[in-house]
A = this chain, B = another copy of it.
């Protein structure tokens, strides 16, 4: 069948996790790790390189430089076989592409999320081992990485420069939830810089990120500065991330640091603070298969000074693409 490509990835790891935080939680598995080292299996997205997935995609040449394309991507937890929700959580989209750029309809990552990803792309491979993972970036816990009911326009590459915009339609009664995002960037072989912005009206939160990546040859670095501007009750966030990756033959080594501060403008509440360190290593058995080891140390303090999270996670795993 030439019209469709069936692809996917399975990522599984085994490791240990311990959380000395004291914040209340209803999460069964987090409770189990409170003050105690728990050895467990991770399904990639929670303690590995990437979330497991399978999908369908294809493009059709329509002539005259015009192309149609689609992508449908399911995400699943490979340790239990459970599908994530919604079914095509990763992507469910249809595109028309040409000299004018690309128009995409459906559910897919926001262009703001693209920039955020760029800013952490060298930070332990933008994985669950990324320094900002699991609570360091407050906005990571609340911004929407994908919009439903979205129409997007991606410009063509214009001498290295690019731009893109997202608009998600408002389909809920009683609340104005239309959302939009945009990005501008410049990219050449070894360097990329981009500015992204996302506005989620229903939550009254605005996100702005400046991110860059530079490949020095023997190593590459990425970094980002991110701000969330919320209501007086929500407070504002400032977030910083820095990452470095060093390839050595079939090996790649990487490290990262991330820091965030939540400022509350309402009466007297202190700032919440969080930071994370991470280190990782991959070894490529082939283009499609790599083994890896990673470590992540995350500390989150809320506005009352309570450590809601104080987690150390180690894991070794395998990632296989098909």
Contacts and interface: CB of A to CB of B under 8 A. Distances in A.
B3 A66 contact: no
A320 B88 CA distance: 17
Interface in A64-84: 66, 68, 70, 72, 76, 78-83
Contacts of A288: 3, 60, 68
Interchain residue pairs A-B with the least CB separation, the first 10: A81-B88, A81-B92, A83-B87, A32-B173, A41-B149, A82-B86, A80-B148, A12-B105, A3-B322, A31-B173
A90 to B, nearest CB: 8
B81 A107 contact: yes
Contacts of A88: 76, 81-83
Q: Which among A66, A76, A288, A320 has the highest number of chain B CB atoms within 10 Å?
A: A320
B62 A286 contact: yes
Contacts of A32: 171-174
B148 A81 contact: yes
A92 B105 CA distance: 29
Contacts of A58: 322
Interface of A: 1, 3-8, 10-12, 14, 28-29, 31-32, 38-41, 54, 56, 58, 60, 62-63, 66, 68, 70, 72, 76, 78-83, 86-94, 96, 105-107, 148-151, 169-174, 285-286, 288-289, 317-318, 320-322
Given A54-B72, A81-B91, A81-B92, 13 more contacts: A1-B7, A14-B169, A32-B172, A54-B56, A60-B286, A60-B288, A60-B289, A63-B286, A70-B320, A70-B322, A78-B92, A82-B86, A83-B87
Q: Copies per complex?
A: 3
A28 B173 contact: yes
Q: Which among A32, A105, A285, A318 has the highest number of chain B CB atoms within 10 Å?
A: A105
B40 A72 contact: no
A79 B318 contact: no
A96 to B, nearest CB: 7
A239 B314 CA distance: 43
A171 B56 CA distance: 32
A250 to B, nearest CB: 11
A37 to B, nearest CB: 12
B150 A10 contact: no
Contacts of A83: 86-88
Nearest to A73: B81
